[in-house]
Amino acid sequence: MSYNNEGMGKLETCRNFDRLYGRVKNRALTKRQSWLYEFLLPSISITSFDPSQYSAYRSISLEIGFGSGEHLCQFAIANPDKLFIGCEFFVNGIASLLSKIDEGKIQNIRIFQGDARKLLPEIPDDFFEYIFLLFPDPWPKRKHTYRRFVQEKTMFEIYRILQKGGIFRIATDCLQYSNWITNVFSAPIFDKKFEIKKFLHDFRPPESDWPKTRYEQKSTSECTFFSIEKLSSL
């Protein structure tokens, strides 16, 4: 495998992100995690996006905000011929994923450390088989809704980079966010572009196909799951 560590243009720094959206680190890394951060992360980190590097894989999928990476690892282990790119800026989460990759000798995960919205414009049209956005930060206060990941503009970018027939999966345990998602996808610009299936808590998709994330395991609220298929290309 070859990796490209050239710069991808100036990425929003974690410090800026910290100020705007929340903390990027909540505890010191263990010795082993620091070692993995220093020596494993650079070899699997995406700092410039060159799709030709990934042509050996049957398909490529993206997880935005992978937390500690349980869901990403389960998919990667079950599909060794497919590549999974995870985006996260939370340092302790990335460190947890690195430990899992190291322990499981997982070869088919790449990490983009930073705000996923910086990566999206680098991606070619019709690229990903799946995009996962599982339990995104809900920003429940009305004055913070502009921080939600699901916005018309970002979702148009998601539409652009998803393959025709590709699936965008979203889960949330926040009722306001679930309603917000339904409203965003009802916008006229998405007319006939997607087919949306919505599953409520009691009818959750099977775990064999949709593994539970750590957040879902801890959640005590009712969850909503969206499976959004792209019907047509640009």
Write down the residue that tokens 């599909």 correspond to.
79
Q: Indicate which single residue of 75, 84, 90, 225 sits in contact with ligand SAM (rule: CB under 6 A).
A: 90
The nearer residue to ligand SAM, 1 or 28, going by C-beta atoms, is: 28
Among 228, 8, 216, 1, CA closest to 112: 8
Nearer to ligand SAM, 126 or 211 (CB): 211
Region of 4-12, 88-96, 201-209, 220-228 interacting with ligand SAM (CB under 6 A)? 88-96
**159 exposure class (CB count in 10 Å sphere: 0-12, 13-18, 19+):** buried
Which range touches ligand SAM (CB under 6 A), out of 61-69, 75-83, 173-181, 192-200? 61-69
Q: Is 81 a catalytic residue?
A: no
Pick one of 49, 75, 84, 89: the residue that binds ligand SAM (CB under 6 A).
Answer: 89
Using CB under 6 A as the binding rule, whether residue 65 contacts ligand SAM is answered as yes
* Tokens 């148009």 sit on residue: 156
> Which one of the listed residues 115, 126, 137, 173 is annotated catalytic?
137
- Supply 43's token pair: 């070899």
- Under rule CB under 6 A, residue 198 binds ligand SAM: no
**Active site positions, annotated:** 137
Task: Tell me which residues touch ligand SAM (CB under 6 A).
Answer: 64-67, 87-90, 93, 115-117, 134-137, 149, 213-216
